[in-house]
Amino acid sequence: MHQYKGKLIIHTGSMFSGKTSSLEKDLNRFVIAGYNTMAFKPSVDTRYDTSEIKTHDNISLQAILVDSIDDIMEHYNREQPNVIGIDEVQFLKGKADAIVSNINQLLAEDVTVILAGLDMDFTGHAFEVVKELMPIADYLYKHHAVCVKCGTDAWVSHRKIKDKERVVIGASKEYEPLCRRCFLEEKIKEEDIVNKNQVSFDL
Ligand SMILES: Nc1ncnc2c1ncn2[C@@H]1O[C@H](COP(=O)(O)OP(=O)(O)O)[C@@H](O)[C@H]1O
Ligand SMILES: Cc1cn([C@H]2C[C@H](O)[C@@H](COP(=O)(O)O)O2)c(=O)[nH]c1=O
Ligand SMILES: [Zn+2]
């Protein structure tokens, strides 16, 4: 029993690509196999019921709200689960190398860690912690949503609203998955609008 030990499994990709669904499926399989599992999510994501992780198609699983990897380590030290799942890992507070080193500690203690998180923000830049974690994964899955403009595999989460801060919690009202080509087309359109507004302002 419990032969699956100390593995790092990462589900990444854009929004709507199935990261959380895959985390939920993996955790369920470990429950069926008799492992003690715990799921966590950063408290910054307040979209849904506080103690639940929910997928975009409304599958939910119980989770503990945390701010940082230190909170997760405290729970781990108290409960000693064999498997830890973390959703939205890009939102854990703290420095990327501190998160990586704590995750390495869990792996060294034979805990299997399953992470779900965005590889890139709405501008197409990497989330630092996911970038640091990807190379050390035992199993790395890059998932793809369907590009809502052309139907090919999406590459990035395009923000449909004007906010420019990095963290803006939302779903399909605020974001849409786009392939690289459709994303670049949107950026050109957005720049044109900015330039046109600038010209009319200048006149
Ligand atoms: N454009 C899209 N491409 C793929 N799935 C989509 C899309 N829009 C909505 N969905 C739904 O999102 C679900 C995946 O949700 P979820 O696992 O929460 O993704 P993620 O955690 O990557 O944001 C899919 O099973 C599907 O029902
Ligand atoms: C791209 C991007 C996303 N977010 C937010 C939007 C959602 O609340 C989550 C991602 O959830 P999902 O389960 O992956 O669909 O992150 C953000 O704050 N900033 C961004 O650049
Ligand atoms: Zn496209």
Predicted local confidence at residue 46, as pLDDT: 61
The minimum-distance atom of ligand 2 relative to the CA of 157 is 1
Predicted local confidence at residue 45, as pLDDT: 62
Report every protein residue that has its C-beta within 5 angstroms of ion ligand 3: 147, 149-150, 179, 182
pLDDT (tens digit per residue) in 104-152: 999 999 999 999 999 999 999 999 999 999 999 999 999 999 999 999 9
The minimum-distance atom of ligand 1 relative to the CA of 177 is 1
Amino acid at 28: N
Integer CA distances (angstroms), 124 to 90, 178, 189, in order: 14, 11, 16
Report the residue among 19, 55, 153 best suited for mutation to probe ligand 1: largest number of ligand atoms under 8 A from its CB.
55
Indicate which ligand has the atom closest to the C-alpha of 18.
Answer: 1
Phi, psi for residue 102 in degrees, rounded to 5: -70, -35
Q: Whose CA is nearest to atom 19 of ligand 2?
A: 167
Give dist(CA 26, CA 12) in Å, integer. 14
What ipTM did this prediction achieve?
0.99
Residue 2, pLDDT above cutoff 90: no
Q: Quick one: pLDDT band at residue 191, thresholds 50, 70, 90?
A: confident
Amino acid at 66: V
Annotated catalytic residues are: 88
Predicted local confidence at residue 193, as pLDDT: 81
Annotated binding residue at 16? yes
Annotated binding residue at 83? no
Residue 192, pLDDT above cutoff 90: no
Chain mean position to CA 176: 15
> Which residues have any ligand 2 atom within 6 Å of their CB?
15-16, 19-20, 45, 47, 118, 121-122, 157, 166-170, 175
Residue 158 β-bridge partners:
176
Integer CA distances (angstroms), 192 to 28, 147, 150, 188, 189, in order: 48, 22, 21, 6, 5
Report the share of the chain in percent with pLDDT over 70.
Answer: 94
Locate tokens 């801060």: which residue?
A: 165
Give dist(CA 120, CA 108) in Å, integer. 28
Predicted local confidence at residue 50, as pLDDT: 64
Q: Quick one: pLDDT band at residue 30, thresholds 50, 70, 90?
A: very high
Mean confidence (pLDDT) of the chain: 94
Report the residue among 157, 167, 183, 186 best suited for mutation to probe ligand 2: largest number of ligand atoms under 8 A from its CB.
157
pLDDT (tens digit per residue) in 47-77: 555 678 999 999 999 999 999 999 999 999 9
Q: Whose CA is nearest to atom 27 of ligand 1?
A: 57
Q: Quick one: pLDDT band at residue 1, thresholds 50, 70, 90?
A: low
Predicted local confidence at residue 197, as pLDDT: 73
Q: Quick one: pLDDT band at residue 153, thresholds 50, 70, 90?
A: very high
Which H or E element spans position 66? strand 64-66
Predicted local confidence at residue 199, as pLDDT: 61
Predicted local confidence at residue 152, as pLDDT: 98
Burial of residue 9, with CB atoms counted within 10 A of its CB: 0-12 exposed, 13-18 middle, 19 or more buried? buried
59 CA to middle of ligand 1, Å? 11
198 CA to middle of ligand 3, Å? 28
Q: Is the dihedral of CA 175, 176, 182, 183 positive or negative?
A: positive
The mean per-residue pLDDT over the stretch 163-174 comes to 98
